[in-house]
Structure 1
Amino acid sequence: MGLTLTEKILSRASGKYVSPGDVVEINVDLAAFHDLTGYHVVEVMEKMGVVKVWDVNRFVLAFDHLAPPPTERAAEIQVGLRKFAKAAGIKFFHDVGDGILHQLLLDHYALPGQVVMAADSHTTTVGAVGAFAQGLGASDIAAIVITGKTWLVVPEPFRIRILGRPGPGVYGKDVALHLLSVFRAEGLNGKSAEFFVEDPGAFPMDYRATVSNMGIELGLDAAMFIPDSETVRHIKERRGVEVKPVTPDPDARYVDGYDVELNRLEPLVATPHSVDNVKSISEVEGLDVDYVFIGSCTNGRLSDIEVAAKILRNGKVRSRCVAIPASREIYIRAMELGYIDTLVRAGCVVTYGTCGPCLGGHFGLVGPGEVAVSTGSRNFKGRMGSPEGKVYLANAAVAAAAALNGKFVDPRKYLT
């Protein structure tokens, strides 16, 4: 019997053949944490009396959640983590403004076939390049940072095929929301999704990263895209290196599967107060919107900024709008291409390299009674500010069209 990608990666990492349900100890290829979780990890290490990194070539630290620090406590935490980084000899340290951890891991560090563990639930993002990636708690990450090892229960491999090509206004976010509408939040708990893309060029890395990012909302242990020509292209373009894709065997067996037909999707919106409360854009069209956030580790990539600029070049925003490219590199490229100029002239507030509004941290929170459209990943009560606010999740085109009109409208009229 052939092996799935999940089984291949975890068999290599454990040094023995594994099957779903096995409890195994594995070697970790890459570990990471950021400012919001990192100080908890270091606290655990200090309590253990061992503050060290097992391999500085396999560890990444980034300041992204509260960056720049909006409170004295946040600044104090970052001072402490800078001291940790210096004392531990950290090589891959990204300070304020460099970018969101998951985007940095995707663009510069994670590789197909790796095991990646970080102290953040959206670590699943780097499954986009075919890595087995999980977010873990502070104690587990502390143990990994010290030893380079962890344990897990081998999840059940679940196959999802991405078929055809998307129409105008449909992106990775809509695939993620469609899956949430079908399986519901936590509906694939204990499983590892392996995504097969029928036409690699029709579903680029930016789209894949969004789907993998929101895999955690489905309860997935990992959300991996089978490496293909798009994976090879992305890594060569970003890092100048060739990679050999790690793929499942032709006769690999899956516990179950599902097909996503891209040409049958339309722009979707997750309405308050759950990621699986999904409706079509036509069902919310006309609803007034107070605030729009375009960015986050879910949808702060260049293609998101590009489509937002394409729509917002049509006038001035009627809803206040904050746009945050996910890294300094994306910001610079968007600036070179004129997207940042377009957003600013349309009335958006633009910065870079912070999670900020997505988690209700800073740089634009939702007030009581306000309706917000976010390209982020979660919309439970209080996620982006006031518990009395209402957060709708959507792709960057839907968000930009809402900002431009001050209400939900179908963005496809700007894209066809």
Structure 2
Amino acid sequence: MARPMTVAEKILASHAGLDEVKPGQLVECDLDIVLANDITAPIAIDVFRELGATEVFDRDRICLVPDHYAPNKDIKSAEQTKKMRDFAHEQHVTHYYEQGCAGIEHALLPERGVVVPGDLIIGADSHTCTYGALGAFSTGVGSTDAGVGIATGRAWFKVPPTIRFEINGELEDGATAKDIILHIIGMIGVDGALYQAMEFAGSTIEGLSMEGRMTISNMAIEAGGKAGIIEVDDVARAWLKGRCERDYVEYHADPDAEYAQVIAIDAADIKPCVSWPHLPSNTHPVSESRHIMIDQAVIGSCTNGRIEDMRAAAEVMRGHKVADGVRCIVIPATQAVFRQCMKEGLTDIFLDANCVFSTPTCGPCLGGYMGILAAGERCVSTTNRNFVGRMGDPTSEVYLASPAVAAASAVAGHICLPSDL
């Protein structure tokens, strides 16, 4: 009889063809999806060629998405995207998304039903852990591993131990999924889950939308996590219905599964918060951050660019204007989100407030383009990282927050809650 296992262990065991696995064990697994983008795919393609491979392992299981510097910001980024595009056409890759049909990869693939529960996914992008919100084991890898995966459909893993976070109770007014994950990272630190799977459970998680769950799984990597997993439930099944392009398998943790830690959190203790520079773990309540003046606000990214995020920001901005001396850049994560913003009138709200409203792109999140900070400038952002120089000059500062807080701060000119307006 197999040992009791966590969700992460069950997925890895299944894809390794084993009855059971345990933390620390090395396993070689079949992959369901291999992902790369316009920055990482060119290197992975070089690895593919160096291996002597001539065909991808499965053209339906490769995902190539131009999103980081797309639409291309300069000649170099255009060449990178062209290399990926040419490879996708050469290999007849099903899931290549050209600009105009694409979006930010980690919002696009769940939206399109390309990634599904029970999948084992590697992506040459650290925020591949987003898909754990669908009950998948998804993790970021280097371009070398991605290139091997594209060629062979296989990868090796060291089975990670799992930390279970049980969050129960009602969130206070103004607290969101972004605040949940910032609170957790603030508790355990940026290496608190190093090479461990993070499993999120409890009544608070059950009460979140799928958008909120993806925000939480997306930032598991900011605590060092190998994966950020939420079990499939009725909320997930309803969201997945009619969306998935493949049948899927649900994996649920055994009641007596062994965890490295079980951390209980009372949702009432989670406050609307902001991560000050230069670590996501440097969290402070918004109430203690009102003195911080800003030059820019960014609302978007693979963390908070979905329609729920757009609605939250627009509700705050309705009838207001962005403060003098502040730029606010709003970036819907996919073309579908862009279209829904127009349909619901959210685009008009943002434009009436004097925001920049962009085509889907990662843009300024990684210091790419369309919002780079000058020396000494401060930005409040719904993105996922605030390292030194992350969004521009090394002396600039990034403060991580929820969409509602970012929107309110853009209007006020300083970090604040919507209730402060």
User: Are residue 195 (structure 1) and residue 200 (structure 2) matched?
Assistant: yes
How do residues 332-371 of structure 1 correspond to structure 2 at under 5 angstroms? 332-371=339-378
User: Are residue 70 (structure 1) and residue 73 (structure 2) matched?
Assistant: yes
Q: Which amino acid aligns with 1:42?
A: I
Q: Which amino acid aligns with 1:344?
A: L
* Match of residue 216 from structure 2: 211
Q: Which amino acid aligns with 2:382?
A: T
User: Are residue 142 (structure 1) and residue 144 (structure 2) matched?
Assistant: no
Query: Would you say how many aligned residue pairs link Structure 1 and Structure 2?
Result: 414
* Match of residue 38 from structure 1: 41
| Gap regions ≥5 residues in structure 1 | none
Post-superposition offset of 1:193: 1.2
Q: Aligned to 1:391, what secondary structure does the other structure show?
A: strand
Post-superposition offset of 1:189: 0.6
Distance 2:250 2:317 in 1: 38
* Match of residue 20 from structure 1: 23
8 Å Cα contact 2:133/2:214 also seen in 1: yes
Bigger mean CA offset, 237-246 vs 15-24:
237-246
| Gap regions ≥5 residues in structure 2 | none
Q: Residue 201 and residue 413 in structure 1: after superposition, are their counterparts in 2 closer, same or farther (change >3 A)?
A: farther
Aligned pair partner of 1:404 in 396, 401, 411: 411
* Match of residue 163 from structure 1: 168
Percent of aligned pairs sharing the same letter: 37
Normalising to structure 2: TM-score of the pair?
Answer: 0.95
* Match of residue 5 from structure 2: 3
Q: Aligned to 1:56, what secondary structure does the other structure show?
A: coil
Q: Aligned to 2:222, what secondary structure does the other structure show?
A: helix
Normalising to structure 1: TM-score of the pair?
Answer: 0.96
Q: Residue 123 and residue 75 in structure 1: after superposition, are their counterparts in 2 closer, same or farther (change >3 A)?
A: same
Q: Which amino acid aligns with 1:119?
A: A
* Match of residue 96 from structure 2: 93
Q: Aligned to 1:57, what secondary structure does the other structure show?
A: coil
Aligned pair partner of 1:228 in 229, 233, 255: 233
Post-superposition offset of 1:239: 4.2
Distance 2:203 2:215 in 1: 18
User: Are residue 102 (structure 1) and residue 106 (structure 2) matched?
Assistant: yes
Post-superposition offset of 1:106: 1.9
Q: Residue 178 and residue 200 in structure 1: after superposition, are their counterparts in 2 closer, same or farther (change >3 A)?
A: closer
1:56-99 per-residue CA deviation (whole Å, 9 max, x = no partner) reads 11111111000000101111111221111111011111112420
Distance 1:281 1:199 in 2: 21
After the TM superposition, which parts of structure 1 deviate over 6 Å for at least 4 consecutive aligned residues?
Answer: none
User: Are residue 386 (structure 1) and residue 366 (structure 2) matched?
Assistant: no
Bigger mean CA offset, 164-173 vs 334-343:
164-173
Q: Aligned to 2:259, what secondary structure does the other structure show?
A: coil
Aligned pair partner of 1:176 in 181, 191, 195: 181
Q: Aligned to 1:209, what secondary structure does the other structure show?
A: helix
